[in-house]
A and B are shown apart, each in its own frame.
Chain A
């Protein structure tokens, strides 16, 4: 494959992965809330 194609693929995958992982870990955010509650509640 061409280098420029691979570079573009990299940008595309970066966006997909950041959104996907960000969304997934955001759904696990309740755990962070509990930690805050433990620290300050």
Chain B
């Protein structure tokens, strides 16, 4: 799939001209990106550590999953919206950035994983799910979102 035209279009879009000409606006959006990341990451950590039986053992895991899943969605929305704005400012640089593609791959798998596998599986009675499937679910989720966040930070370095 050839994506270069998309990045060229994004690079010259109205969004990009706003992001490029206002350093202050860019900085503010970046802060929301960071706060969204903290929210998303916190919800992932709490949910997965509960599934592994490490945190909040005395609270039913279905309760923890239901509550964290909703706020995970808000965190994801916040990071996606702010992320698109930030990407428009440096679209051409991102196209040639390896860490950016690692992040996008992880993000795509992560969203599919959360909404097509993790959520549907956890809608069954938790005690009826194979414990190894549970551990795989929690571990994969943490590795995935850590990689998304860390490779995002790595974009700025590479």
- A–B contact at 8 Å CB threshold (below): yes
Q: Which residues from chain A sit less than 8 Å from chain B, CB to CB?
A: 1, 3, 6-7, 9-11, 13-14, 16-18, 20-21, 24-25, 28
Least CB distance from A29 to B in Å reads 13
Residue of A nearest to B117 (CB): A9
Q: Top 10 A-B pairs ranked by shortest CB distance?
A: A7-B133, A6-B121, A14-B136, A14-B140, A21-B147, A17-B140, A10-B133, A10-B136, A10-B137, A3-B124
Determine the interface band of chain B, counting residues with CB < 8 A from chain A.
20 to 34
> A10: which B residues are within 8 A, CB to CB?
117-118, 121, 133, 136-137, 140
A-B CB contact pairs (8 Å), 28 listed: A1-B120, A3-B121, A3-B128, A6-B120, A6-B121, A6-B133, A7-B129, A10-B117, A10-B121, A10-B137, A11-B132, A11-B133, A11-B136, A13-B117, A13-B140, A14-B136, A14-B139, A16-B109, A17-B109, A17-B113, A18-B140, A18-B143, A20-B105, A20-B109, A21-B106, A24-B102, A24-B151, A25-B147
Least CB distance from B114 to A in Å reads 11
The binding surface of chain B is classed by DSSP as: helix
What number of residue pairs across chains A and B have CB atoms under 8 A from each other?
Answer: 52
Instruction: Give bound CA distance, A17 to B113, whole Å.
Output: 10
Within the complex, which residue of B106, B121, B147 is in contact with A7, where a contact is CB–CB below 8 Å?
A: B121
Least CB distance from B17 to A in Å reads 33
Q: Does B89 contact A (CB under 8 A)?
A: no
Q: Does B127 contact A (CB under 8 A)?
A: no
Residue of A nearest to B157 (CB): A31
> A16: which B residues are within 8 A, CB to CB?
109
Q: Does B32 contact A (CB under 8 A)?
A: no
Least CB distance from B40 to A in Å reads 17
